[in-house]
A = this chain, B = another copy of it.
Amino acid sequence: MTYANVGTLGAAPGKRDELAAHLTARSQELADAGCLLYEVGVHDDHPDTVYVAELWTSAEAHQASLRLASVQASIAAARPLLSGEMGGFDFTVVGSPLRD
């Protein structure tokens, strides 16, 4: 079952764009791990927040990706850019009006 994870990441003051650049660095490994979609964004009204919307082939694929050495290194590298605030939710996809 396709798994969705969407969330907000608080950026350290002045670090939002650096955090967004970090999160959008090309990663074939994510695709290989079962990541189907990984959109990163910002909102003018919330200048210290980075947004992510992810789709994965399964919740297990998402969990497993967090154990990849490259992903752990990326998380460690992002740490100085984060305020520690996080939000969001996850869900199991049941369908879409755009497909049968």
Contact = CB atoms under 8 A, between A and B. Distances in A.
Interface of A: 2, 4, 6, 8, 20, 23-27, 30-31, 35, 37-44, 51, 53, 55, 89-100
Contacts of A37: 37, 96, 98
B23 A97 contact: yes
Looking at chain A's contact residues, the main secondary structure is strand
Contact of A93 (B4, B35, B40): B40
Contacts of A23: 97
6 contacts: A4-B53, A26-B97, A26-B100, A38-B97, A40-B95, A53-B55
A79 to B, nearest CB: 18
A32 to B, nearest CB: 11
A68 to B, nearest CB: 13
B43 A91 contact: yes
B92 A39 contact: no
Contacts of A53: 4, 6, 53, 55
